[in-house]
A and B are shown apart, each in its own frame.
Chain A
C-alpha cells in the first residue's frame, strides 16, 4: 500500500513571494504518477501539476513547479509569484502506473495555503 505524507497543515505567504509545499510518499512501485491538486473554498478539486516517476525532468506549469526526488521519495510544489487566488487547500496525491484498470489516487492530508495581501 502507498502512503502520502504532508507535514505542513498550514502555510502562509505574502503576495508575489515564493512558497514551497512539502510532500513525501512511500511505495514499493517503480512506475507511478504524482500529483498536486488544489481545492479552493468552492470545494472543486483542480489538478495543478503532474509528474511521471520515470521522467527525471521536473514538471512545470506556469508559476507552479515541482522538485521530484525519486530516491528520497519527495515531491514538493513551488509556487512562484504567489497570487491571492492561490489561497486554497493543496493535496499531494499518488497513483501507481496505469495497467488498464487501476486509477486509484492516494491523497495526503493537505496543506492549507493562505496568500496574504
Chain B
C-alpha cells in the first residue's frame, strides 16, 4: 500500500492563478479531508468527505473547492490563488464506521502564492 499520496510536494503560484492539489489513497477509506497548516496555528480543516459524491465544509473553506468522484481521490482546487493561501496542505483519510480508526496523513504540499 502506498497509503495517502499528495502531489505536488512543492508549488509556487502567482496571485490569481488556479491549480489543483491532488490527494489519493489506496486503503479504500470512506473519509477523506484537507487541512492547512500555518505557523503558530496548527492544522485547520478546510473540507472533508464521508464518501464518494459527498463533501462538506470545514473550518476554513473559503477560496477552496473539492469534489469526490471516486473513493480513492479527493482533489483540492484553488480557483484564484491569493497570498493568504500560502500554507502547507495535508490530506488525510480514515475508514468509516462507528468505531475509532486511525487517520493517515499524506506528506503534505507546500504552496507559496506570490
Contact = CB atoms under 8 A, between A and B. Distances in A.
Interface string B33-50: 101000011111100101
Given A44-B105, A52-B100, A103 B42 contact: no
B75 interface: no
B107 interface: yes
Interface residues of A, number: 24
A45 B105 contact: yes
Contacts of A101: 50, 96
B97 interface: yes
Contacts of A6: 42
Interface stretch (A14-22, A74-82, A106-114): A106-114
A45 B90 contact: yes
Contact of A100 (B41, B90, B96, B110): B96
A108 B33 contact: no
A27 interface: no
Contacts, number: 59
A47 B103 CA distance: 9
Contacts of A45: 43, 90, 92, 105
Contacts of A107: 35, 42-44
Contacts of B108: 43-44
B58 interface: yes
Contacts of B90: 45
A105 B103 contact: yes
Interface in A67-117: 91, 98-101, 103-110
16 contacts: A6-B42, A33-B100, A43-B110, A44-B107, A45-B90, A100-B97, A101-B96, A104-B33, A105-B35, A105-B92, A105-B103, A107-B42, A107-B44, A108-B42, A109-B41, A110-B40
Given A43-B88, A107-B43, 19 more contacts: A4-B42, A42-B107, A43-B108, A43-B110, A45-B43, A45-B90, A45-B105, A47-B102, A91-B42, A98-B97, A98-B98, A100-B98, A101-B96, A103-B31, A104-B45, A104-B58, A105-B103, A106-B45, A109-B41
